[in-house]
Structure 1
């Protein structure tokens, strides 16, 4: 990571003043560039396969600026601006959002924790992405489908966030203003997560609720999407870490059915007004050598009251397994390879491109699955 120390000089008086004001201030430019070549089966109607260039399995390309100023007494002013882009075509991942990942300013105290304001990760995203999800809320559909339905609500605009750690217990709490005239709650988000570390064991639990507006696609203005997780991690040895958890979501907005679909999936005739998903996951990391890291992950989701291709509501089951190997060529550069498999039935058939043929008719020959392999290169700066 490259650190740039800010200073200012304009004559002897200004030079002394600047030296005093900025001696403990810094701004760091950081980021990563990650691109892969991927093969995937059943990526289009009639079960056609795909070979192409895409993002990495765990990390989108990004760059950012973060800064801190020491205010004395263990208190610092901080900020972060973080962009996300696609290295294979140079476009923003989120159109018209220069700092689509994060953009916030705040205060951090050694004693009292950190308070930030702006566009930020929700506590659920912090907990799962940094601690409990084996694939850190990955990027390929086959690796991250469990997040697709609720993913749009894991980065929160207009939010106030407070994080503090005391004796191994971390509290992460957020409130996102809806900014809707005449209604405090419309469009708002609140979430809280608790993580406790004791020896080799880590446990966590959290809840988030978002009031989704019609402009965001909700069937009912202000309908709620609720998310709950209970998770655990255990450092079995110095090189092996085990992960397990349960993620529950209830969507009354009608957005999950379409958000859950992968690219090329058939259009749905409607959406569910009360979809419920219970996802169970298990995984692990093995640092085989100083340079070689293996990650395994398995996910199983039982959906209820979900939209089917014929317009009725019903259950569905989806499951996937992923193996990822990462090899560090240096401190900042690594190559990786990944293989994954995903399969769905019932309402989940609507999420697979191979479930229909070229004219849009439902294909009943069992192409509601994907196999994928990818190799890529990641450079961190």
Structure 2
């Protein structure tokens, strides 16, 4: 979800030219932007593990996951350009990379045409996740939500490796199509993924989107995991209302898409991610902008799960309130509280954020945090 981040307009091109890494002509036609965000919070969570223990921690991320990246383009004439992006996600409290992802969690290069759209190749956000981020994601003013954004868990990992993605736009309508190569010798379809989405994003006030994703298992290539979503958001004055619906379905032999997903099959099993045959989520929220720097939001999620066997049946009900205040153009302070009820075989780590921080199941869970975020 870095897609909504308002990046610093300052460019590294001048600095690189001064170091002799770009010639004068290249500097005139190219741009490279360094951007990033550092966020940390003090977080208290009840029932933070399967034994029911509480946790008090300096969290590796708060409302957002810390990251830095390079975004660049080169004008090659006739309305065409070459584009690239590299982005690393890290833990500020330990200085280490997020172990759930590769060093560059986003890494792609591509071509952009003013006539024909954009084609990018590499590891990038899948079309289903992009559609939600553009339109009806909760807490839409935030560039990323790391600890608690349950709808993220319905997007099959959000980022996909080995992906070719085509994006075209007609006025207010954007379409994305993708294919991720499995790369398995002798089984071309194993580990592959196809995706599609369409979003309607006018200047204001209504936004709508829908997306679809189909992943073939890398181990059992005849098994699929399919996801689809639809929703919208409406803005009136300083108030935004969003609502969405998402579905995941897994075939019985699905064990995890190792080449393209962020987690190994063993970790997916430990998180309970491969225990369900289907689950669907309904979610919505209200965000109020107060003045020009303060956001207050309230959000709700309801998830119903059917297991591959009876022990996997379950449901979850989740609530969240957030208050975020910008003390400057680039620095925010915030408080957040979330309350969840997990029942049956639905494990909480599936439905929290980019990286599930709690394996709680069959219990209630309360978390509160306060933190500081700075973007550059």
Shorter chain as denominator, the TM-score bin is 0.7 to 0.9
Q: Deviations over 1:35-54 (max 9, x none)?
A: 11101111135532211011
How many angstroms does 1:222 deviate by?
A: 4.7
Whether 2:9 is the aligned partner of 1:5: answer no
Structure 2 CA distance, aligned partners of 1:119 and 1:212?
A: 18
How many angstroms does 1:19 deviate by?
A: 2.4
Structure 1 CA distance, aligned partners of 2:321 and 2:348?
A: 25
Corresponding residue for residue 138 of structure 1: 145
Contact persistence 2:312–2:346 (CA under 8 A):
no
Corresponding residue for residue 247 of structure 1: 246
Summarize the Cα distance change of 1:228–1:3 in structure 2 as closer, same or farther, 3 Å threshold.
same
TM-score normalised according to structure 2 size: 0.83
Corresponding residue for residue 55 of structure 2: 50
Matched ranges for 1:223-262 at <5 A = 223-237=223-237, 239-252=238-251, 253-254=254-255
Corresponding residue for residue 217 of structure 2: 212
Q: Tell me whether 314-323 or 329-338 shows the greater mean CA deviation.
A: 314-323
Matched ranges for 1:194-213 at <5 A = 194-198=198-202, 199-213=204-218
Structure 1 CA distance, aligned partners of 2:326 and 2:289?
A: 11
How many angstroms does 1:97 deviate by?
A: 2.0
Structure 1 CA distance, aligned partners of 2:115 and 2:61?
A: 38
Corresponding residue for residue 290 of structure 2: 288
Corresponding residue for residue 81 of structure 1: 86
Matched ranges for 1:163-182 at <5 A = 163-182=167-186
Q: 1:127 aligns with which of 127, 131, 143?
A: 131
Summarize the Cα distance change of 1:222–1:29 in structure 2 as closer, same or farther, 3 Å threshold.
farther
Corresponding residue for residue 355 of structure 2: none
Whether 2:300 is the aligned partner of 1:298: answer yes
Task: Report SS of the residue matched to 1:192.
Answer: strand
Matched ranges for 1:79-118 at <5 A = 79-94=84-99, 97-100=102-105, 102-118=106-122
Structure 1 CA distance, aligned partners of 2:127 and 2:272?
A: 34
Summarize the Cα distance change of 1:345–1:71 in structure 2 as closer, same or farther, 3 Å threshold.
same
User: Structure 1: where are the runs of 5+ without partners?
Assistant: 215-219, 261-265, 356-366
TM-score normalised according to structure 1 size: 0.82
Summarize the Cα distance change of 1:269–1:66 in structure 2 as closer, same or farther, 3 Å threshold.
closer
How many angstroms does 1:139 deviate by?
A: 2.3
Whether 2:376 is the aligned partner of 1:378: answer no
How many angstroms does 1:20 deviate by?
A: 2.7
User: Structure 2: where are the runs of 5+ without partners?
Assistant: 1-7, 264-268, 350-357
How many angstroms does 1:96 deviate by?
A: 7.5
Q: Deviations over 1:254-293 (max 9, x none)?
A: 459xx99xxxxx9689954x61001000112211111101
Contact persistence 2:45–2:367 (CA under 8 A):
yes
Corresponding residue for residue 155 of structure 1: 159
Structure 2 CA distance, aligned partners of 1:72 and 1:64?
A: 26
Q: Tell me whether 108-117 or 330-339 shows the greater mean CA deviation.
A: 108-117
Structure 2 CA distance, aligned partners of 1:53 and 1:203?
A: 37
Structure 2 CA distance, aligned partners of 1:353 and 1:47?
A: 10
Summarize the Cα distance change of 1:255–1:147 in structure 2 as closer, same or farther, 3 Å threshold.
farther
Structure 1 CA distance, aligned partners of 2:70 and 2:241?
A: 33
Task: Report SS of the residue matched to 1:276.
Answer: strand
How many angstroms does 1:322 deviate by?
A: 0.6
